[in-house]
Amino acid sequence: MKRTTRDRLVLPIALPVGILVIIVAALWGFSRILLAISHDAATATALLVALAIVVAAAVVAGRQYVRLSSLAGMVGAVTGVAMLAGGVAIASLGAGGGGGEGGGPAEAIRVVAINLAFQQTVLTVPAGEPFQIVLDNQDPGVQHNIQVFPGEDFSATPIFSGELITGPSKITYEVPALDPGTYAFNCLVHPTMTGTIEAVEGGGAGGGGGGPVIQMAAENIAFDTDTIELPDTASTIMFDNRDAGVQHNIAIYEDDTLATTLFKGELVSGPGKVEYQIPPLPAGEYYFRCDVHPNMSGVVVVGGGGGAAPPEETGSPTMTMAPTGSAPPPNNHVTIEVTARGVRFDTAEIVLPAGQPSTIHFVNDDAGIQHNIVIATDESMSQTLFSGDLVTGVADVTYEIPPPEAGTYYFQCAIHPNMNGVVTVR
């Protein structure tokens, strides 16, 4: 090849293309290294490689003539520094460092944030030992984190506040040891996303604690059993959802009024499997169901049965859940129209009559999206007074509301807690 042809035709095309290929390959390989190590190690590695690039570029630029061999030497030197720094970081991580984004150790607790709600609201951890929480933020473009409070409410200063991450992404939090007891946790950006942490002596992270493993399956919109037998210690349910494209979960309540939640498993789309870590429950009988399909339900027997103790009287107004599709309401019934459209309710206030039953005609105009109406005593949703069946739009349902006492309550959608408002009973 003539030198003039090489200088005027081949090099102007081949040189930029070759450099671009080398840059892309180097960036891809370097990104694999950074993703494999923790935040701090990734930052240090990136700074070291940036320094190597600056030094190598300065050396090359100081020469009178820049040849391909000089550029290749620069790329080789930078790549060597990147590989060396990444290897040292990975080696130190494997020797005991770690904790960054992505997976954690097998005993780490996984918490999923989706639709502005935590899927795991009751966590069990060993008291007196540091532990890890892997936060899986599945809300695109939305920030979440986990902060832990020293007690069962949110009035004090958090004893742990994790870094905010924007979904979809994951992060592993290193949480310091907790004394035995109950702790509340929430999201800093969305305080209605709440849960509790039970620190127990001798317990395993996540509530497993080496207890028995129960196998359960869902198929054709039905559980394969209507009775779950659990010990009064921590245990594990291996749940297999065999319904393709359908979401199921297992939630355990004190009774079928759904007033007190004991465990709420994350939703899993079929076909898929999930491991539920069940915290220790007092001996007795409880109620379980799928929150998406309330007709999928049954009894949980803990420690051989014996019946759960009746709930304590708290003096709060109560309502019992009335099933949908019951007998037509009498003529003096009040019917309220509520519509969900654009992932929001068309009203921020529902007015109900005191001392008499009423009806809510709920219309879900969001095609393919599930909504419902849940009424509770306050925004904490700790005491549920009414929980309507979930309905997938476009569809409507009639909720029969039992007689409430006069007062002010709170309502929201169980799937989308940002859809909420006030219930005024007068």
Q: Are residues 205 and 295 in the same domain?
A: yes
Residue bearing the bigger pLDDT, 231 or 88: 231
Q: Are residues 297 and 349 in the same domain?
A: no
Name the band, by pLDDT with cuts 50, 70 and 90, for residue 362.
Answer: very high
Q: How many Cα atoms are found within 13 Å in the side-chain-facing hemisphere of 150?
A: 7
The answer to whether position 321 is within a domain reads: no
Instruction: Give Cβ neighbours of residue 183 (< 8 Å, ≥ 6 apart).
Output: 148, 149, 150, 151, 152, 159, 196, 197, 199
Whole-number pLDDT of residue 236: 87
CATH code for position 163: 2.60.40.420
Q: Are residues 246 and 381 in the same domain?
A: no
Q: Are residues 292 and 345 in the same domain?
A: no
The answer to whether position 329 is within a domain reads: no
Name the band, by pLDDT with cuts 50, 70 and 90, for residue 96.
Answer: very low
The answer to whether position 317 is within a domain reads: no
Whole-number pLDDT of residue 55: 78
Q: Are residues 79 and 225 in the same domain?
A: no
Mean pLDDT of the chain: 79
Q: Are residues 234 and 376 in the same domain?
A: no
Q: Are residues 178 and 239 in the same domain?
A: yes
Whole-number pLDDT of residue 228: 93
State which H helix or E strand residue 92 sits in. helix 68-94
pLDDT tens digits along 287-305: 999 988 988 999 999 986 4
User: 12-26, 251-265, 294-308: which has the highest mean pLDDT?
Assistant: 251-265
Name the band, by pLDDT with cuts 50, 70 and 90, for residue 175.
Answer: very high
Whole-number pLDDT of residue 5: 61
The answer to whether position 249 is within a domain reads: yes
Q: Is 197 exposed, middle or buried (0-12, 13-18, 19+ CB in 10 A)?
A: buried
Domain that holds residue 154: 109-302
Name the band, by pLDDT with cuts 50, 70 and 90, for residue 62.
Answer: confident
Considering only CA atoms, which of 346, 348, 404, 354 is closest in space to residue 376? 404
Q: Are residues 248 and 345 in the same domain?
A: no
The answer to whether position 79 is within a domain reads: yes
The answer to whether position 323 is within a domain reads: no
Q: Please report the DSSP string for 238-285 in residue order.
A: EEEE-SBT-EE--EEESSTT--SEEEEPPPEEBSEEEEEEEPP--SEE
Q: Are residues 178 and 71 in the same domain?
A: no
Q: Are residues 85 and 44 in the same domain?
A: yes
pLDDT of 65 above 80: no
Q: How many Cα atoms are found within 13 Å in the side-chain-facing hemisphere of 346?
A: 12
Q: Are residues 115 and 88 in the same domain?
A: no
The answer to whether position 45 is within a domain reads: yes
pLDDT of 268 above 50: yes
Whole-number pLDDT of residue 108: 74
Q: What end-to-end distance do the CA atoms of the chain give, in Å?
A: 95
The answer to whether position 388 is within a domain reads: yes
Q: Please report the DSSP string for 328-375 in residue order.
A: PPPTT-EEEEEEE-SSSBS-SEEEE-TTS-EEEEEEE-SBT-EE--EE
Please tell me the distance from the alpha carbon of residue 155 to that of residue 134, in angstroms, as a whole number.
25
Count how many domains the chain has: 3
Least confident range of 22-26, 336-340, 381-385: 22-26
- Domain boundary at 38, 59, 94, which? 94
Place of tokens 């639709």: 115
Q: Are residues 124 and 250 in the same domain?
A: yes
